[in-house]
Amino acid sequence: MQETMVYNEKISSVIDNINKVMIGKEDVAILSLVALLAEGHVLLEDVPGVGKTMLVRTLAKSLDCDFKRIQFTPDLLPSDVTGVSIYNPKEMEFEFRGGPIFGNIVLADEINRTSPKTQSALLEGMEEKSVTVDGDTIPLQKPFFVMATQNPIEYEGTYPLPEAQLDRFILKLTMGYPSLADELEMLERTSKEHPIESLSSVMTKEELVLIQKEVRNVYIEKNVQQYIVNLVRETRNHESIFLGVSPRGSIALMKAAKAFAYIKGRDFVLPDDVKYLAPFVLTHRIILTSEAKYDGKTAKQIVEQVVKQTFVPIRKEF
Amino acid sequence: MSRKSKTNITFIYTSILYIAGLLLFLEWLYPVDQVTDTTYIGIFVIYTIFCFFISVLQVKWWLSLILKGFGVFFILNGLYSSYSFWSIHWFTELLADFSFNLQALLDRQWFDLSNMFRTLLFLIIIWLMSYLIYYWFVQIKRVMIFSVLTFIYITLLDTFTVYNSDWAIFRTFIIAFLALGIANVLKEIQNESLQAYRLSTRPLWIVPLVGIVLFSTVVGYAAPKLDPQWPDPVPFFESAVNGNGIGTGGVIQKVGYGENDSTLGGSFVQDYTPVFKAFMKEENYFRVESKDYYTGKGWVNSEESEYVEQVDANITYETFSKVVESETSELMLTFDDRANIPKLIYPYGTRRVVPPSEDVSLMLNETNGEIRTEVDHDAANLSGYKIYYDSPSYSIDMMQKSSTPEDEELVRNYTRLPSSLPERVGELAQEITAVHESQYDKVRAIERYFSGNGYVYQIENVPVPTEDQDYVDQFLFDTKAGYCDNFSTSMVVMLRSLDIPARWVKGFTSGEKIDESVNEDGDDVYQVTNANAHSWVEVYFEGVGWIPFEPTQGFDAPNNYAIDTQEEDDVLEAPEAPEMPEQEFERPEKDVEEAFNPSVGENNGKFQITMTHGIILAVIFLGLIGLLIWKRHQLRIYFLERRMRKRRDAATYQDAYHYILKVLKNKGFEKDPDQTLREYANRIDNWYGSNEMGRLTANYERLIYQNGVTNIVDEEMSNLWKNLIKRILG
């Protein structure tokens, strides 16, 4: 157990760091870390001003990583994201200048406010871990973690992300408003100096890469894998779901579960991990039937139903 | 569905359940009238209904106490007092009666208790039962125990008393099963696995229940039933209690020594009522009398003989001649009070009897050896006597060489057969003895014949021959199953068909040895009961006398045969008969008794299942099953824990863990399928206020979800497991 969990202690200091800035958002912080450790990306969906950007900044600062931010606007071009080749008169050739996507932690703010063309430039980079400019494929940084935020799609002036691209995000999170006590505490803390200013990094890039490697080695037993597959298959058969979760969803759920187990200090996955993560991993991967939508059902409710219908494995064949 | 209507519905059903409890309890009261001297059973029934009614109303406990108590005293007043209920005299009378009875209780003078006090106690029992049944039927909804008890109660009463429970069984069956069904549904509702509203929207659920109960009742009532597989045990118990020892008559008879042998056959039941104790050194067959005339149905005496008084109790009757070697011996018989045989019971070779008093005269019938015991010319049962006898040792050589009898009258008298005897009996006798020359060999061949050839010893299902059937023929060719009378009569008849003089003898075997070396002579004590009544064969050998032979399967005549020539070995080994396996079941009385006292007697370990055994075994068996069911958790825990400590492997731990889940489920804490173990353990630990389930679960999680974890059962875990399960069951 010990050899696979060398850097586990670092995780808790990262969480402590985030807790200094973000009040009452430990669960979101942990889930973001899950995505980071599982080498995935996070989609944060919420109204403006609840701390989405602050969360990403805190995370970036705690990790001593190269932090880039892209503010998506309707007039943003794909090259504004990936970078452009500029003629260098000295060298007499074109030289590539990387865009904001060449960072370790990239905050893609209000991703649904830009055109699909620009969105897809980012999404392609997220999937391929490289960008193609002028026919050259240029690999992105390692680690590479995108935290995209979006306003709820009902808001005006948004381009909803296509379903096929949504499942590039391993988790979809919401922040929600803080509680009364938390909000008061927040005012108290920020009245003089914002706590983020005094934050120092607690983990290096290299350590993060090593941790990601350790996460891949977290053990998942056959019966838990079976549980994941059962959950996913259940979404494909559910009467309220028009399009179920793809196999990419199963893989994402497993990776997330491993990362979550790691953060919890275990080198093996429990069904509890899977069950806890299922709503965050599956909700944005299903499309409800029109009838279900008209009935006012939400994807979240349906995923909860799916989880309720799936048996948890409590035996192992010896 | 609103909560109110839900409680309404369950109230209706619990009321039905409670009424079922009342009806079952009333089944306990009805027989009281018949089997005890209680009168006015109606009053008790009314009081029962009254108590149940108050319980179902769920009034405050003090009100219920006042009402039920008032009922008790009202009844006592009505039954036992001439004063009015409110009179002060009645009150003083009551007090006086109480103080008297309390004194009697303290002195343990149970029979002094007054009727009024006993009625009071009985009413209080009814009162308690109304509480108990409310608790069983309404609160915990466990109907089974009381139903089963009711069945047992009714059937026992039916078996052992005059009470006829045919309809009671009928009623109990219907009520008990309906109650069981309803109780189960209510339990399901309680566990919330069934929604209560279904009961009201679909009261149809009760239709299949009622249907099935009624259907099985009708089928049970109409279907043909087996006759009782066991004879009625009552005669045995009754005889044990009342000492009414000897009985004959009817197709089912009790075994015992009887007078009338003219109609043999029919089943009988064993009767272990003691007849006498014999103090002697060796086993003996006790002779009482012989009979000489076979009628085709049984035995009678061909002529009325004179009885000759035996002077000084010296017995003049001789069955064997002086040439037979004998050894002087003595024995003593003491009779049970219940024995009613006013005849001398004597071993072969009896010379002199020492009766208990001088007044006793012994009257010998010289033809059949019957010796009546009389006092003042009236038949009298003696309390006991001592017998001096010459224990014979018959020489086989002498019998082999014995010539054809010369006394023609003797031959004529003892070879008589009824003309109605089918010829095949004689043909069979010829066939059996065809290869044998001497009379002795022929006799032994026939004696041996029954130990095989499909003949079985049994006392049940033995028919009485019909009008045109011969008793021997029926046994030899049709039934091939019977007891001593069948075997002995058949042997006598077959011998007679070969013109060998033979007669049929009645008496007792030596019974069961119950004690050893009880007196200075070193005598053993044998208990002889009615079940040891027996019949066998005597064959006349010229110059030797009447020699006893034993054809009945499983019996060995305790005769001494003196072996004095080599060539007879073959014949002597006769009883080794290859068909012996059958004897497993055919060992008669002797072995039955050994089963009760296995240390006594031969160590052949053979065993016959009789009624009494059956009952005892069934009771033990049911008891064991009950014990197993009752203790099943403890047993399971014991074995699982042992396995855990011993094997410490993953599979065992998994079994043990899942056993906890099962036990918890039975306690109403079922794990939802979508619940993870951790969530479930939290719930359990919250309930019990401990962390044991959590610790066990964490351990189990590692086992089934972590890689390569197999050896996780240590002392701590098995203790934890045991504690938790005890906590749950406790």
In CATH, what number is assigned to the domain containing residue A234?
A: 1.10.8.80
**In this structure, are A193 and A227 located in the same domain?**
no
User: What's the pLDDT score for residue A262?
Assistant: 93
Distance from CA of A212 to the nearest CA of B (A): 20
User: What's the pLDDT score for residue B566?
Assistant: 41
User: What's the pLDDT score for residue B240?
Assistant: 56
Tell me if the bond preceding A143 is cis, omega within 30° of 0.
yes
Instruction: Say yes or no for a CB contact (<8 Å) between A316 and B706.
Output: no
Label residue B593 by pLDDT band (50, 70, 90): very low
Whether residue A210 is contained in a domain is answered as: yes
List the structure tokens of B409: 């009258």
**In this structure, are A192 and A236 located in the same domain?**
no
Q: Chain A residue with minimal CA distance to B706?
A: A268
Q: Which is more confident, B255 or B347?
A: B347
The answer to whether B506 and B286 have CB atoms below 8 angstroms apart is no
User: What's the pLDDT score for residue B583?
Assistant: 37
B654 touches chain A (CB under 8 A): yes
Report chain A's terminal Cα–Cα distance, integer Å: 21
**Nearest CB to B705 within list A268, A307, A308:** A268
Label residue B191 by pLDDT band (50, 70, 90): low
User: What's the pLDDT score for residue B30?
Assistant: 84
Over chain A, what is the mean pLDDT?
88
**In this structure, are A249 and A136 located in the same domain?**
no
- Residue A63's Cβ-count burial label (10 Å; 0-12, 13-18, 19+) is buried
User: What's the pLDDT score for residue A230?
Assistant: 93
Label residue B193 by pLDDT band (50, 70, 90): low
* Entry field: residues in chain B: 730
**pLDDT-wise least confident of A224-238, A299-313, B453-467:** B453-467
Question: In chain A, what percentage of residues exceed pLDDT 70?
Answer: 97
Question: In chain A, what percentage of residues exceed pLDDT 90?
Answer: 36
Instruction: Say yes or no for a CB contact (<8 Å) between B704 and A219.
Output: no
User: What's the pLDDT score for residue B597?
Assistant: 38
Whether residue A107 has pLDDT greater than 60: yes
Which residues in chain B have Cβ-Cβ distances shorter than 8 Å to A312?
673-677
Distance from CA of A307 to the nearest CA of B (A): 7
Among the listed residues A120, A146, A137, A1, the one whose alpha carbon sits nearest the alpha carbon of residue A60: A146
- Most A-contacting residue of B678, B705, B709, B710 (CB-CB within 10 A), to test interface: B705
Tell me what the mean pLDDT of segment B404-413 comes to.
82
Whether residue A295 is contained in a domain is answered as: yes
Distance from CA of A126 to the nearest CA of B (A): 32
Among the listed residues A292, A306, A265, the one whose alpha carbon sits nearest the alpha carbon of residue A1: A265
Tens-digit pLDDT profile for residues A262-310: 999 898 999 999 999 999 999 999 999 999 989 999 999 999 999 999 9
User: What's the pLDDT score for residue B248?
Assistant: 37
Whether residue A127 has pLDDT greater than 90: no
Dihedral sign computed on CA atoms, order B215, B217, B223, B229: positive
B206 touches chain A (CB under 8 A): no
Instruction: Say yes or no for a CB contact (<8 Å) between A311 and B676.
Output: no
Label residue B131 by pLDDT band (50, 70, 90): confident
**In this structure, are A97 and A199 located in the same domain?**
yes
Buried b (16+ CB within 10 A) or exposed e, B489-512: bbbbbbbbbbebbbbbbbbbbbbb
Tell me what the mean pLDDT of segment B358-375 comes to.
84
Which residues in chain A have Cβ-Cβ distances shorter than 8 Å to B671?
314
User: What's the pLDDT score for residue B711?
Assistant: 66
Whether residue A318 is contained in a domain is answered as: no
User: What's the pLDDT score for residue B357?
Assistant: 80
Whether residue A63 is contained in a domain is answered as: yes
**In this structure, are A185 and A295 located in the same domain?**
no
Dihedral sign computed on CA atoms, order B480, B482, B488, B489: negative
Long-range contacts, stretch B30-35, CB < 8 angstroms, 24+ apart: B30/B168, B31/B154, B31/B157, B31/B161, B31/B163, B31/B165, B31/B168, B34/B161, B34/B162, B34/B163, B35/B157, B35/B161, B35/B162, B35/B163
Tell me what the mean pLDDT of segment B383-408 comes to.
84
Among the listed residues A29, A45, A25, the one whose alpha carbon sits nearest the alpha carbon of residue A37: A29
User: What's the pLDDT score for residue A275?
Assistant: 94
Label residue B238 by pLDDT band (50, 70, 90): low
Which chain A residues have any C-beta within 8 angstroms of a chain B C-beta?
Answer: 219, 221, 223-224, 267-272, 275, 307-316, 318
**pLDDT-wise least confident of B10-24, B464-478, B581-595, B624-638:** B581-595
> What type of residue is A309?
Q
Q: Which is more confident, B508 or B79?
A: B508
Question: In chain B, what percentage of residues exceed pLDDT 70?
Answer: 84
Whether residue B367 has pLDDT greater than 90: no
Label residue B595 by pLDDT band (50, 70, 90): very low
Ranked by mean pLDDT, the top range of A34-48, A162-176, B38-52, B581-595 is A34-48
Ranked by mean pLDDT, the top range of A29-33, B224-228, B555-559, B707-711 is A29-33
**Nearest CB to A224 within list B674, B702, B705:** B705
Which residues in chain A have Cβ-Cβ distances shorter than 8 Å to B678?
270, 272
Label residue B7 by pLDDT band (50, 70, 90): low
What is A164-225 written as a DSSP string?
A: HHHTTSSEEE---PPPHHHHHHHHHHHSSS-GGGG----S-HHHHHHHHHHHHT-B--HHHH
Instruction: Say yes or no for a CB contact (<8 Å) between B705 and A270.
Output: yes
Contacts of B544 (CB under 8 A, 6+ apart): B320, B321, B323, B324, B394, B395, B398, B399, B402
Residue at a domain's end among A186, A216, A246:
A216
Residue at a domain's end among A180, A201, A216:
A216
- Residue A198's Cβ-count burial label (10 Å; 0-12, 13-18, 19+) is exposed
**In this structure, are A32 and A110 located in the same domain?**
yes
User: What's the pLDDT score for residue A289?
Assistant: 92
Q: Determine phi and psi for B322, rounding to 5 degrees.
A: -65, -20
Q: Which is more confident, B442 or B202?
A: B442
Distance from CA of A268 to the nearest CA of B (A): 5
User: What's the pLDDT score for residue A303?
Assistant: 94
Whether residue A77 is contained in a domain is answered as: yes
Whether residue B485 has pLDDT greater than 50: yes
Whether residue B261 has pLDDT greater than 60: yes
Tell me what the mean pLDDT of segment B286-312 comes to.
84
Whether residue B571 has pLDDT greater than 70: no
Whether residue A316 is contained in a domain is answered as: no
d(CA B317, CA B348): 10
How many domains are contained in chain A? Answer: 2
Ranked by mean pLDDT, the top range of B193-197, B451-455, B602-606, B684-688 is B684-688
Contacts of B202 (CB under 8 A, 6+ apart): none
* pTM, to two decimals: 0.48
Over chain B, what is the mean pLDDT?
78
The answer to whether B601 and B594 have CB atoms below 8 angstroms apart is yes
- Most B-contacting residue of A312, A315, A317 (CB-CB within 10 A), to test interface: A312
Q: Residue with structure tokens 């406790």? A: B730
Tell me what the mean pLDDT of segment A55-63 comes to.
87
Whether residue A61 has pLDDT greater than 50: yes
Segments of B337-398 assigned E as strands:
346-347, 350-354, 360-365, 371-375, 378-379, 384-395
User: What's the pLDDT score for residue A285?
Assistant: 92
Q: At what angle do helices A222-237 and B692-705 cross, to 10 degrees?
A: 90
3-state secondary structure at position B619: helix
User: What's the pLDDT score for residue A236?
Assistant: 92
Tens-digit pLDDT profile for residues B622-634: 888 888 888 787 8
Running DSSP on this structure, what letter comes out for residue B278?
A: E
Instruction: Say yes or no for a CB contact (<8 Å) between A311 and B675.
Output: no
d(CA B392, CA B388): 13
**In this structure, are A134 and A38 located in the same domain?**
yes
Tell me what the mean pLDDT of segment B342-367 comes to.
85
Among the listed residues A78, A287, A246, A253, the one whose alpha carbon sits nearest the alpha carbon of residue A163: A287
Range of the domain at A286: 218-311
Tens-digit pLDDT profile for residues A78-94: 888 888 888 888 888 88
List the structure tokens of B657: 């863990």
- 3-state helix, strand, coil split of chain B in percent (to 5) is 50, 15, 35
Ranked by mean pLDDT, the top range of A232-241, B15-24, B515-524, B661-670 is A232-241
Whether residue A317 is contained in a domain is answered as: no
Q: Chain B residue with minimal CA distance to A276?
A: B676
Contacts of A221 (CB under 8 A, 6+ apart): A268, A269, A316, B704, B705, B706, B707
User: What's the pLDDT score for residue B666?
Assistant: 83
Label residue B569 by pLDDT band (50, 70, 90): very low
Question: In chain B, what percentage of residues exceed pLDDT 90?
Answer: 2
Beta bridge partners, B368, equal: none
**What is the separation of C-alpha B522 from the centre of its chain, rounded to a whole number of angstroms?**
35
Which residues in chain A have Cβ-Cβ distances shorter than 8 Å to B651?
318
Tens-digit pLDDT profile for residues B314-325: 888 888 888 888
User: What's the pLDDT score for residue A268?
Assistant: 92
3-state secondary structure at position B199: helix
**In this structure, are A285 and A172 located in the same domain?**
no
Q: Chain A residue with minimal CA distance to B655?
A: A315
Residue at a domain's end among A173, A199, A216:
A216
Whether residue B435 has pLDDT greater than 80: yes
Whether residue B271 has pLDDT greater than 80: no
Among the listed residues A5, A13, A1, the one whose alpha carbon sits nearest the alpha carbon of residue A200: A13
Q: Which is more confident, B51 or B8?
A: B51
User: What's the pLDDT score for residue B249?
Assistant: 36
Beta bridge partners, B326, equal: B392
**pLDDT-wise least confident of A110-124, A144-158, A184-198, A267-281:** A144-158
Label residue A227 by pLDDT band (50, 70, 90): very high
What are the boundaries of each domain within chain B? 3-222, 253-264+276-299+312-611, 631-729
User: What's the pLDDT score for residue B89?
Assistant: 84
